[in-house]
Amino acid sequence: MYINPLVIFFASIFTSNMIFSNFLGMCSFISVSKEVETAIGLGIAVTFVLSITTVLNYFMNKLMVSLGIEYLNYIIFIVVIAAFVQILEMILERYVPNLYHALGIFLPLITVNCAILGVTLFMVTREYNFLQSLLFGIGSGIGWALAIISMAGIRARMNENALPKGLQGAPITLIITGIMAMAFIGFSGMVPIS
């Protein structure tokens, strides 16, 4: 069944959000969503990486299928993602050192962010064409960025209020993530993506 690429784009932002629907990329989502500025930087970096690596892996998948070596998909996908993140890390270190230091360990961890590999694997299993893959990668990145920036904004507001000790940090973040996921589920009947 052919799905319009714009439907895929908007669905990947809202109804099939990598954080709220698939719970992929939760480690950096919870850890880096403490400050809005850092969350914006990581959101942009993840969106950029998702957009480019989805396209690169689309072509790598086509090449591997044509050569009959699709059993190497996972290895090649991870190598492409790791190489691209390494290049992005070097660029940020050189030209945006403040963001590079703010992201800290989480920048190289984009390589092992399961949302990045998840988008590529969803693209392959759903057999998206080039335009569908491109918009799926961009939309998934925007959806992930929307989630982390929203969480950072909420956490910044919560820091102004007193919370019980048992809820501070990760516990309240997980509770809010669950509530946000339920809100995004409200969009799920609008567009089927699978």
pLDDT for the residue 145: 94
CA distance 14 to 191: 10
Instruction: Name every residue whose Cβ is closer than 8 Å to that of residue 103 and which is 6 or more positions away in sequence.
Output: 32, 38, 41, 42, 45, 92
The residue ranges of every structural domain in the chain are 5-186
At position 193, the amino acid (one-letter code) is: I
pTM for the model stands at: 0.88
Report DSSP letters for 106-149, one per residue. Answer: GTGGGGG-HHHHHHHHHHHHTT--HHHHHHHHHHHHHHHHHHHH
Asked if residues 69 and 61 have their Cβ atoms less than 8 Å apart, the reply is no
Which of 133, 131, 77, 85 has its CA nearest to residue 109? 85
- CA 147 – CA 183 distance, rounded (Å): 12
| DSSP state at residue 182 | H
pLDDT in tens, 76-127: 999 999 999 999 889 888 998 887 887 777 778 787 788 999 999 999 999 9
Q: Tell me if 102 sits within 8 A of 33, measured CB to CB.
A: no
Could you say which residues of the chain have pLDDT below 50?
none
pLDDT at 117: 93
Of the candidates 56, 58, 78, the one whose C-alpha atom is nearest the C-alpha of residue 66 is 58
Closest C-alpha to 24, from 153, 112, 138 = 112
Angle of CA points 154, 159, 163, to nearest 5°: 100
> Do the Cβ atoms of 150 and 22 come closer than 8 Å?
no
